[in-house]
Amino acid sequence: MNLKDKFYRYIQNLQDTITSKLEAVDGKATFKQDLWQRPEGGGGRTRVIENGGVFEKGGVNISAVHGKLPESMQQYFGVTDADFYACGLSLVIHPKNPFVPTVHANWRYFELYDPQGNIVDQWFGGGQDLTPYYLFDEDAAHFHSICKRACDEHHPNFYAQYKKRCDAYFWNHHRNEARGVGGLFFDYCKANDEMNMKAWYDFVTEVGNSFLEAYIPIVSKRKDRAYDRSQRDWQEIRRGRYVEFNLVHDKGTLFGLRTNGRIESILMSLPPHVQWQYDHHPKSGSEEERLVKVLQKPKKWT
């Protein structure tokens, strides 16, 4: 089987595995599935959960699209007039309880073709990152330790490199703070002296396979912790920062909005209930303030 079909089959299975596990943890809501077609070629399978016992809103989406490379993307990749294939799994989970962090993950594969249909370029990209509203150091350390273990199986430098790129990518420039406590972010993973495409496939799927182990233990540990209205308010205010990042800075979201992607699948990443208060600052010495300080200066977790 060629690499693109193999990877697409992989993310189909991974979507099933992840949604089944999340439903089991939630115990109340199930994922609603929407199949959609892209007029220019390909389509996707969107799965969204809402108003669950644990998960207030979340999406675990796969898509595989192909055809002429859109003009807006030609410039981005520095090519003219090419055909492309892209597939990937994207997920964002917004739990109800403010002590359970939001999580985002994405694993994707891309091919570019010449007019004869030969592959002229191909690469993987992706990552996973955690956005807590209250910071339990041990949770961040757990998430990062699983990320590190998956990386270390494939290259001694990957974790340090991709952790750093994650902090840089999910930086909310206009707020001068990170979106969350990070994780991994990698892109343009192409064949080189050390890694052929098969080796990259093994790396990316290793990270994909690590997702549930990185996230679910944190959910289980925090989902029943009692919270009050002020803690929920804080979560909703911080979700505002999540919205700001996704709509102002996130390349994937903006690319989707500007190339006529399926809006509802793209914007499933936005949290269900969000607040903006004018010039809000957490109390000095509070747990809320401690989170913000860590986000302003990303730290080592392993």
Q: Is 141 in the site for a copy of itself (CB under 8 A)?
A: no
The sign of the dihedral angle between the CA atoms of 240, 251, 146, 11 is: positive
* Selected range binding a copy of itself among 160-168, 196-204, 208-216, 272-280, rule: CB under 8 A: 272-280
The answer to whether 88 contacts a copy of itself (rule: CB under 8 A) is no
How far is C-alpha 104 from the geometric centre of its chain's CA atoms? 3
Other Cβ atoms within 10 Å of 170 Cβ, number = 24
**Whole-number minimum distance, CB 247 to a copy of itself, in Å?**
4
* Phi, psi angle pair for 145, to nearest 5°: -65, -35
Nearest one of 92, 88, 85, 122 to 11, comparing CA atoms: 88
Rounded to 5 degrees, what are φ and ψ at 219?
A: -60, -50
* Of 79, 96, 72, 168, nearest in space to 129 by CA: 168
Residue 273 touching a copy of itself (CB under 8 A): yes
Catalytic (active-site) positions: 104
Binding region for a copy of itself (CB under 8 A) out of 6-14, 212-220, 254-262, 291-299: 254-262
- Candidate list 54, 268, 294, 295; residue touching a copy of itself; CB under 8 A: 268
Q: Contacting a copy of itself (CB under 8 A), which of 10, 18, 52, 57? A: 57
283 vs 300, which CB is nearer to a copy of itself? 283
Interaction between residue 13 and a copy of itself (CB under 8 A)? no
Report the 10 Å Cβ neighbour count for 274: 17
Choices 66-74, 134-142, 222-230, 258-266; region in contact with a copy of itself by CB under 8 A: 258-266
292 binds a copy of itself (CB under 8 A): no
Q: Which two tokens stand for residue 185?
A: 């972010």
Among residues 175, 221, 232, 290, which is the contact residue for a copy of itself, using CB under 8 A?
A: 175
Rounded Cα distance between 225 and 170, Å, is: 28
Burial 130-149 (b: 16+ CB within 10 A, else e): bbbbbbbeebbebbbebbbe
Contact flag: residue 41 with a copy of itself (CB under 8 A): no
287 is a contact residue toward a copy of itself (CB under 8 A): no
Give the Cα separation of 116 and 125 in Å (integer).
25
- The answer to whether 49 touches 58, Cβ cutoff 8 Å, is yes
Among 3, 12, 23, 34, binds a copy of itself (CB under 8 A): 34
How many residues contact a copy of itself, by CB under 8 A? 32
Region binding a copy of itself by CB under 8 A among candidate stretches 84-92, 117-125, 155-163, 267-275: 267-275
- Decide: is 247 part of the binding site for a copy of itself (CB under 8 A): yes
Min dist CB 46 to a copy of itself, Å, is 8
* Shortest spacing between CB 71 and a copy of itself, in angstroms: 16
Nearer to a copy of itself, 108 or 262 (CB): 262
Sequence letter at residue 67: G
Q: Which of 3, 82, 270, 292 binds a copy of itself (CB under 8 A)?
A: 270
CA dist 249 and 233 (Å) reads 24
